[in-house]
Structure formats: C-alpha cells, structure tokens
Amino acid sequence: MRYQVPQFIDVEDKIFGPLTLKQFLYLAGGGAAIFLLYTTLPFFLFIIFAAPIGIFAAALAFYKVNNQPFIKVTENAIAHFTKTKVYTWKKRMPKKAQRSATAKETGPKKKEEITAPTLTKSRLNELAWSLDIKNKIDRDGQ
C-alpha cells in the first residue's frame, strides 16, 4: 500500500489572503495597539509612539534574520540580556569562601610564608626512573 508523503511541511498555510495566521495576528495586535494609542493620546504623541509599534509589528510579521523569524531573534536577544552568563575562564569563589576571604582581609594581617615542596636531585632521579620503567612495562604489555 502506498502512502502519500506530505510535501513542503516547513511552509505555513496561508489563511488570511497572502498572510499566515501568525502574520495576521502580529499585524492585528500591532493595529489594535495603534488604535488604542490613537483613541487615548493627542495626535503628536500618537505619531511618536505609533511608528515604532507599527514597525515592530511589521518586522514580526515579515522580517527574517538569517532565515529565522524576527520573533525568534527577539526572544534570543531578550534571553541573552536577562540570563546570567557563565564565564568558564573566570573562577568564582563560593559565597561562604567569599565571606571568609573578606573576613580575613578585614581582620588582622599575618605574614604567611608559602612553602614550595622541595625536590632533591636524587628524588627527581627516582621519579624519572620509575616513570621510565612504567612506560616500558606498558609498551611491553601491549
């Protein structure tokens, strides 16, 4: 039995003349907002506020950025500016560690010495020899 596979499933249906349902709703919403401004504001203020609303509604309905609808670009921009950003190259101290670090800074300062581990030449030779032996064993075992 043959089944007919739908073609062009990524194209939205035109419902209101040449407009899709989404385009019609964006334009209707923009028109309603402009109408409310027209009835409530003086003409000069109406022009100032209505122009950006009309442009935004038209952009939502028709404008695409890199083949993406403008609403998606707007959502991503809002999410980018409102979400916290994680920078992996900037280390953050936990809040408890920050409090203790600030408490230590405000308290009396003590001179602390940082000691580096000492590595004698004989200890260094032992480590190098054990690593060489381990590498040889690993190569021979494979």
Q: Tens digits of per-residue pLDDT, 27-80?
A: 999 999 999 999 999 999 999 999 999 999 999 999 999 989 999 999 999 999
Within-domain flag for 138 = no
Asked, for residue 106, whether it belongs to a domain, the answer is no
Average pLDDT, stretch 96-115? 62
Question: Percentage of residues in the chain with pLDDT exceeding 90?
Answer: 42
∠ CA(16), CA(34), CA(37), 5° rounding? 155
**What is the spatial distance between Cα 3 and Cα 5, in angstroms, rounded to a whole number?**
6
> For the chain, what is the domain count?
1
Q: Is the pLDDT of residue 107 over 70?
A: no
Q: Considering the domain boundaries, does residue 116 fall inside one?
A: no
pLDDT at 1: 78
> Residue 31 domain-assigned?
yes
- Read off the pTM: 0.55
Does residue 90 lie within any of the structural domains? no
56 is in which domain, residue-wise? 20-82
The burial of 120, by beta-carbon neighbours within 10 Å (0-12 exposed, 13-18 middle, 19 or more buried), is given as exposed
Whether 47 is covered by a domain: the verdict is: yes
